[in-house]
Structure formats: structure tokens, C-alpha cells
Amino acid sequence: MTGESEDVSDIVQRSARASSAFPMLSESMRSLSVSEASAKETRSKSVHQRPSRRTLCSAVPDLANLTPVHRPDKGGHKGRSVDVYTNHFRVDIADATVYQYDIEIVMINRNGKPCLARKDDRWEVVQTIIKRKKDLPTIWYDEGKTVYSKEILPDLGLPIEISLTKEEVKKFCLTKCNLVQQSRIQSIHDYIRRKTTIRPQETIRIIETLFKQRAQSDLISIRNQFYDRRRELEDMNDGRGMAKGFYQALFLTQNGPTLNINLTFTCFYMPMKFVDFICKYLRRDITRGVRQNELDLLAKSIRNLQIETMHTGRRIFYRFHGFGRPADQLKFRRNESEDTASVGEEISVAQYFAQQHKRKLMFPSLPCINAVKGNQNKPNWLPMEMASIVEWQRAVRPLDKTQRGAVSKNSILRPDQRYEEIMKIVRNNQFDRDRYLRELNIQVHDKEMLKVKARIITPPKITYRQRGRGEIPESIQGGQWRIRNWFMSTPPINNWGIIYFGDTPDRNVNGVLQEFQNQFPSLLGRTGFTINSQLSLTIRGTSEHDIMTALQEAAKNKWQLAIIVLKSYDSARVYDYVKQSSNRSIGLMTQCVNYQALERNISKL
């Protein structure tokens, strides 16, 4: 943002449309003008005109000019009228003027040069300045480049240098604090009362930032989601863990401003040694060896993952960039900055850590990590066993079926359970004791959720049309209805088989597959299927060549059905390729089974 004052409506409209570089349809139509003279002049030119690209217009409406939709609370006559609890709490907000300042906080490195400061460090720097400057009014910080205040800040005497001591002393500097704009809380009430059609997005962000301030010391804040930093993650058995938290946001409704609070469940990378993380991710012990294709796939999925080291006696943060050669093979030449007599000597990474840091590596044959520090592009080769995963990093890789089932057991709650969980969160937040909320005279009515009028309507009927029997209606109860054995007869299975895609099976895996091969046909027979052939078993790897070859052989042998058993650390990729190849390219019917689920349920067949 610039230091010049701007009209509030212009800023809000620009920020709301920042995701689209194309003009809105209304703007394009306003700027469209074609005169007869200009058209004739264009056609009369002898030079061939280069065809211009057609102007694209966003199909998404301008969010800044949307108005709240009225609920038909007083209408309707069908069904039974009831009161429904919502996870919203009414908020009273007094009018005030809030001043917004653009700030910049940098960390001073050992060479005396400024560099990017971490989010947690920036937060502590702002809190330290607030404690030292006794004449400052109440300010709140968004952990980025903006602070807010109800009053104009006095002269801070920039730059301000701050030293923080954790594992070591770090120096920081506040280099900029410029007033950029001011906002009126009244704009929220004007929007609700339809006095304006411009949604006050910046004012909403100011108040949501205010709600976050008190929670920063005990909770991890990720946008509008909050997690207890003292609570352990639930292990998902692949280096990730699930955390239970809550979502909190301010909504503008026809009943006035409300605070929406809901439960949220998110996967994070578990803070652990990097070697242990890779073993969990690949679901096997990598200290005995790891394949290059596994490292390539892993490097793509965790690129830019934050890691840390402690071998120097202090925490140093890096970003994961890739893998290199093993620590006992990767060599470099000592430079002149090191206090050693062997300048220019070629030495391996394992030897360097043994001589320089007195650390003899336990797994020198494991590949080194290419770690990048800050904005530097220079690689820092680290032994894998010296690095650890930094806590509270979101993991966006999709879950497999087993993990989704485990998440569902914890996240799907009965209405009364969800109600109690949300009310417990509200009571723990203690909004009435929040000094930041008192600063803007904000009151949250947290004793009870808001209620809205609703109607329980008679459930519809599902009508089936069956040959020779006409239309048959079925009543719905609790969202379910019975089919009453109205199944079409299944064709006989004359040729089929099992294909196992995964690592080389051991004795236990072979036992599970043979048991499945023996028991599954009899299970289908008991449910009405006609089986006219033996169930064959094929074992292949997980490369795309192995998958395509196995599926093509099954199609060549005219299989009616292929049961696919998946046992791999990247089962999601294998599953996608199997379905893509069988459905689009080969035309083979497949049914995929997760090996872990099969192993747990093999005794139930």
C-alpha cells in the first residue's frame, strides 16, 4: 500500500477484485464506443490489420456491490414450524474510527544486513515495542505488514532496534510505520441497513484481526483457524497428524454483525526427525536403503517444507529444496572463511560434520538434503539425520481411504455434541475479559447461539418404475429408503482375477493375498453372484509401465472384472493411473482395494 490517502470505497473495490486482472462487464460496456467515422477510417486502410485479442470479462459478480439476501423467515406454511440453533453469536459494535499503519520489520543477520523476519518473530517484536513505549495507545497487529489503532500514533523515533533472546540473541529493526488510511466502523451498520451497497471488507478485516490478538499466546492462528499449540496431533501414520481446532469469522447478517464459530480439522506435518518422517511417509525403514524414484516423488510433494537444525547449538531454519548424493559421497572444498589449515581440501559432508561439529553420522549412506536458507538460492547440503520438521505446517496432500475414515470418525458429530463443543470453545475464549474488544466497545452475546425460524417439511417419496409392475413409491425416513431387493440380475462371471500393485510382497502379504483369493469367490456366491472360473492372482510393481502391462494382459485375456489391491506409499497416484488407464484407454472394469483395509478385514470374509 502507498502512503497517499485514498477513497475508502476505491480501496475496498480494488482489494475485492484483486484476484481478477480483467475488467468487469459493466466497466467494459461503459468504455465501449464505436463511431461510424472511425469504422470507415479503419476499413479504408490498405495495411493489413493484425487481429486483436477479444476482451475477456469476468463472469464473477463484483463482490463489493453485493447486498445481503433476505431470508423468508416469516413466510411459508407447509410443515411444522421450529426454532433452529445456528453457530452464530450476536455482536454489538460501537462506532469508531480506526487508523491503519503500514509497517516493516526486518531481522539483522550476522553480517549486519537486513533479511526477512519470521512471522512469530515479527509478532514478538511488536509486543516488545508495545511494552517499551508507555505512551502508545492500544494497537493490534495482523502478523504481516499492518497495525491498527483507535488513535493516531505518536512519533515512534524510527528506526527502532529490538533484541530477542531465545536460543540466541537476534536483532530486529522496525524501519517503517506510515499511516495509509482510516476506516469507520459505521460502514458495517450502513451496509446492513442497505444505506450503501459496498461491502466494507477492510473494516471486517480490522475487527477479525482484533479478535485474534488475545488468542496468539495460547493458540496457533492460520488465517481464521485456531489450534491449541499444547495439544498433540493425532497420528495419521504417514508423517502427518490431525489437529482439532475452531474457525472464527465475522458475518454481516440481517440480524446485525454475528461471530460465526465452527469446528475444524486440519492435517499438519508432525514435528519429528527428518529420517523418522521419511520412514513414516514411505511406510518402511529407509536406513536400509531408499530408491531414487521414491526420493523424486517425495521431493515434489514436500518441496519448500520448513526444516530446522540444532547441530551448531542454535536453531537454524531452512526450506527443503531436494535430495542430493549420500553424505559419505557428496564432497566439497573448504573455503577460506573456515578456521582451518586445510583450505581447499576436498572433504565429504560426513567427514566435515565429524571434524567441524564432532558429530559422527549414524546413516552416512542416506542422501543429503538440499536446504535453502531465507531468500538465498545457494544450496546448504545437510545430512538427513541432522534435520527436523518445523511444527505446525499444513499438509495439503490428499488422504487415502483409511485416513479419511479415521478423520470422519472424529469430525462427524451428532448435533448435540457439536453444540456442546462450540459452546465450550466460546466459554474458553472469554470475550468479556478481552481488553482489545473493550477498546472498541465490542460485546459478544456468548450465552446462547442465535436462533432462526425453520420448518420441518414432510419428506418426499422416491418413485421407481419397474418392468411389469408400474410405478412403486418408497417413503424416506431419516434420509434413507429401502430398495427392497429390487436389484437387476447379475451376469455370470466367467473370467476375472486379482492384480496386486505394490512393493515386493513378504510372507505376510502373500498369506493375506492367498486368503483373499480363496475366500472372496465364496463371499460373492453367498450374495447371489454366479462364479464360473477360478480367481487368478498377478503381482506387479507400481511403475506406470508395470500397471499398463498388467491391465493390457487382463484385457487381452478378456477379464470381465479386475480386483486391484494397492499397497504403496503413493497409493493415490497408483489408483488414479489405474482408473485412467482402465476406463479411458483399455476399457477394463476394475474395483480397487486398499491393502491395509483388506488386511484388517480378511478374517471377516
168-202, pLDDT tens digit by residue?
788 999 999 999 999 999 999 999 988 888 889 99
Per-residue pLDDT at 314 = 86
Q: Which residues pair with 322 in a beta bridge?
A: 370
Residue 206: band (very low, low, confident or very high) from pLDDT cuts 50, 70, 90: very high
State mean pLDDT over 118-125: 90
Per-residue pLDDT at 339 = 52
More confident residue, 377 or 495: 495
How many other C-beta atoms lie within 10 A of the C-beta of residue 140? 24
Residue 32: band (very low, low, confident or very high) from pLDDT cuts 50, 70, 90: very low
H-type alpha helices, 233-291 = 274-282
3-23, pLDDT tens digit by residue?
433 343 343 343 333 333 334
To 10 degrees, the CA torsion angle through 311, 313, 318, 320? 20
Closest C-alpha among 389, 452, 354 to residue 84: 452
562-585, pLDDT tens digit by residue?
999 999 878 888 999 999 999 888
Residue 36 reports pLDDT greater than 50: no
Sort residue 530 into left (φ over 0), alpha (ψ -120 to 50) or beta: beta
Q: Largest alpha-carbon pair distance within the chain?
A: 97
**% of the chain with per-residue pLDDT over 70:** 83
Query: What is the full DSSP assignment across 38-88?
Result: HHHHHHH--SPPPPPPPPP---S--GGG--PPPP-TT---SSEEEEEE-SE
Residue 402: band (very low, low, confident or very high) from pLDDT cuts 50, 70, 90: confident
Per-residue pLDDT at 67 = 64
More confident residue, 361 or 473: 361
Per-residue pLDDT at 551 = 95
More confident residue, 427 or 486: 427
49-74, pLDDT tens digit by residue?
444 444 455 454 555 666 666 666 66
Among 100-114, 126-140, 450-464, 590-604, where is mean pLDDT lowest?
A: 450-464
Between CA 369 and CA 277 the distance in angstroms is: 13
The average confidence (pLDDT) of the chain is 83
Closest C-alpha among 459, 89, 431 to residue 251: 89
**Contact status, residue 207 vs residue 222, Cβ threshold 8 Å:** no
Per-residue pLDDT at 72 = 64
Between CA 536 and CA 563 the distance in angstroms is: 10
Per-residue pLDDT at 481 = 72
Per-residue pLDDT at 263 = 94
**Contact status, residue 246 vs residue 262, Cβ threshold 8 Å:** yes
State mean pLDDT over 518-523: 89
State mean pLDDT over 101-112: 90
Between CA 13 and CA 34 the distance in angstroms is: 28
Per-residue pLDDT at 113 = 87
Between CA 224 and CA 207 the distance in angstroms is: 12
Between CA 605 and CA 285 the distance in angstroms is: 31
148-165, pLDDT tens digit by residue?
999 999 998 899 999 988
Per-residue pLDDT at 523 = 87
Identity of residue 272: M
**Contact status, residue 263 vs residue 244, Cβ threshold 8 Å:** yes
Cell 503500514 found at: 102
Among 462-471, 532-541, 575-584, where is mean pLDDT lowest?
A: 462-471
Q: How far apart are the first and last CA of the chain?
A: 65
Between CA 444 and CA 425 the distance in angstroms is: 13
Query: What is the full DSSP assignment across 307-365?
Result: EEE-TTSS-EEEEEEEEEEETTT-EEE--TTSS-S-TT-EEEHHHHHHHHS----S-TT
Closest C-alpha among 452, 428, 13, 22 to residue 245: 428
Residue 533: band (very low, low, confident or very high) from pLDDT cuts 50, 70, 90: confident
**Contact status, residue 373 vs residue 380, Cβ threshold 8 Å:** yes
Q: Which residues pair with 163 in a beta bridge?
A: 171
Per-residue pLDDT at 40 = 40
Per-residue pLDDT at 283 = 86
Closest C-alpha among 387, 327, 323, 330 to residue 361: 327
Cell 490498405 found at: 46
3 state DSSP class of 521: helix
Per-residue pLDDT at 585 = 87
